[in-house]
Amino acid sequence: MADHVVDGANGFVASHLIGALVARGDAVVALARASEEVVRRKVSDALVTLHLDPSLARKVQVRQFSLAEKELGISASDVFVEPCTYWHSAALITFFPRREAELHAVNVVGSTNVTAAFARHAKPGSRYVHVSTAYQHGTTDGRALEQWPEYAHPSEFRNDYEHSKRLAEVELSQTGLAHKGDVLVARLGVMVGHSGTGRALTDLGMYDFLRVIALFARRTPGQRVRFVCHPRAALHLTPVDGTVDRMLALASGPLDRPVRHLVPPTAVPVTDLFAAISAHLPVELVAVTAAEVEAEPFSRFEAIVNMRCKFTSPYLRYEYQFESHADAEPPPVTPRILDLLISWYTREGLPE
């Protein structure tokens, strides 16, 4: 039995990670701002998604914590009892404008507080896993490499969230933990539901886009909606079950390559995503170029939908290339899995 500390425990990835850990018999201390009841419910739901016994959520020790405090608002002697793997998953995820200060406070300063507390209190032999995003690469041309990043100006990112995640990695790279080699940075792709059932307990990423499209499709069925896309636009959709498996394997292995991209070997073309959505909702989604929209401007309906999707649509306008290796790559999202993901959410996940 191994010991683990997981912060941001009520989050989508963290709750599934905790579920997998307790299912294999490991001891888990879950840290969250949310109440113990909320954390246990999230972990229980994640266990159901992973086809595991939901009652195992009772085995999780839940502690309140705060990223804003240097000691995280915890009793270090209660949390860091044995050598452990610490999973830093807590983060603020928002693409809304004018929240730069809040994102910096949580994702940058908060992450610094976590690494400092870990360095002070973790027992010898402990490991630190920083959960990040592959999209911290921003809009920079070229292949995103599995290496520590350098500072980049906010203008090189699609939103302040990406920039804050880049800054958090830069700060981590300068710590003693990174220099000693006790750190793993797990950069995730676009998180989606279970690869076998499509079940997804999140409204982020692809599901935020789906929710907006469904709203308009059901109100005004049969409409065509165009989105400006890169000719080779594709999203690295990453099922949560495969991601958790890879995270666990990497964290227990050698940390000689501390920065890893947990993205599938092949991405899902945006045209395939649009076709899958159109097959389950009364709407026709079409990928076009900027020149085509200039020649035939958006209709009023298209303009409204594009405006409502303004936090997702920028990700359709780039081609992404991430360095990755077989030991870190979750299985790809096949057409069958994509159909499962879309069909489950349109059937079970959308608000009535």
Angle between helices 270-280 and 335-344 (to 10 degrees): 40
Domains of the chain: 3-190+237-262 (3.40.50.720), 196-235+268-319+332-342 (no CATH)
Other residues' Cβ atoms within 10 Å of the Cβ of residue 93 = 15
**Could you tell me if 236 and 263 are in contact, meaning their C-beta atoms sit under 8 angstroms apart?**
yes
How high is the mean pLDDT of the chain? 96
| Confidence band, pLDDT 50/70/90 cuts, at residue 91 | very high
53 alpha carbon, distance to own chain's centre: 24
Does the pLDDT at position 243 exceed 90? yes
Cα angle: 2, vertex 198, 334; to 5 degrees: 100
Residue-level pLDDT at 142: 87
- Tell how strand 61-64 and strand 27-32 pair up: parallel
**Could you tell me if 46 and 30 are in contact, meaning their C-beta atoms sit under 8 angstroms apart?**
no
User: Could you give the CA distance from residue 92 to residue 105 in angstroms, rounded to a whole number?
Assistant: 9
Residue-level pLDDT at 226: 98
**Could you tell me if 236 and 243 are in contact, meaning their C-beta atoms sit under 8 angstroms apart?**
no
Q: Average pLDDT, stretch 19-31?
A: 98
Angle between helices 270-280 and 206-219 (to 10 degrees): 40
User: Could you give the CA distance from residue 4 to residue 207 in angstroms, rounded to a whole number?
Assistant: 30
pLDDT in tens, 294-311: 999 999 999 999 999 988
pLDDT in tens, 206-229: 999 999 999 999 999 999 999 999
Residue-level pLDDT at 351: 79
Residue-level pLDDT at 311: 86
Backbone phi, then psi, for 35, in 5-degree steps?
-70, 160
Residue-level pLDDT at 184: 98
Helix (H, G, I), strand (E, B) or coil at 351: coil
**Could you tell me if 348 and 280 are in contact, meaning their C-beta atoms sit under 8 angstroms apart?**
no
User: Could you give the CA distance from residue 268 to residue 291 in angstroms, rounded to a whole number?
Assistant: 24
| Confidence band, pLDDT 50/70/90 cuts, at residue 50 | very high
Residue-level pLDDT at 161: 96
Residue-level pLDDT at 1: 74
Residue-level pLDDT at 140: 87
192: Cα within 13 Å, side-chain hemisphere: 33
Percent of the chain with pLDDT over 70: 100
Q: Average pLDDT, stretch 122-128?
A: 97
